[in-house]
A = this chain, B = another copy of it.
Amino acid sequence: MTEHSLWRFSRALHRAINERQYEDLATLLDDDVDWAIYGPIDMFPFLGARRGREAVIEVVKQIAENVRVHRFDRETIMLGVDSASSMMRYSLTSLESNKPISLRIAHFAQFRNGKLRSIRVLLDTFDLVEQALGRPIHLPKMTSLG
């Protein structure tokens, strides 16, 4: 039984972020890969949508300039033949401030011939913003949704 594409992709992605070695990752991306990490792109320009291998390598370089992956725990995972989804907890370190950032993420990935064809990532963005600011955002207690 061959290894699921997710594991190779995951190793290559973390190697790209932590060691700034992008070659393995590039070989595991479809030419026309469809990539999106949903979140406030005005504040974090390395979030948002990218299309194609070059654009994805470029944004992973931006991510690598900002954070180091300290550890990650996969809390839930589902594997299909050419697909995978997980809920994960990441412990990151901000490279500029050296502050720890704890982040929950969910991803849905599709592979083709062992290469990443599309990935969608959702983050607990409010939690991320507060940690990046280093202080809580004071907001009214909402009795209803606005």
> A residues bordering B, Cβ < 8 Å?
38-40, 42-45, 65-67, 75-76, 78, 80, 83, 85, 87, 92, 94-97, 99, 101, 104-106, 108, 120, 122-129, 131-134, 137, 139-146
Contacts and interface: CB of A to CB of B under 8 A. Distances in A.
A127 B42 CA distance: 12
Contacts of A65: 144
Contact of A125 (B66, B80, B97, B127): B127
A76 B122 CA distance: 12
Candidate in A65, A101, A106, A128 with the most chain B CB atoms within 10 angstroms = A106
A131 to B, nearest CB: 6
B97 A144 contact: yes
Given A92-B145, A96-B146, 5 more contacts: A44-B142, A66-B144, A87-B120, A122-B123, A126-B129
A84 to B, nearest CB: 8
5 contacts: A65-B144, A75-B120, A85-B106, A97-B145, A132-B142
A135 B142 CA distance: 14
A15 to B, nearest CB: 20
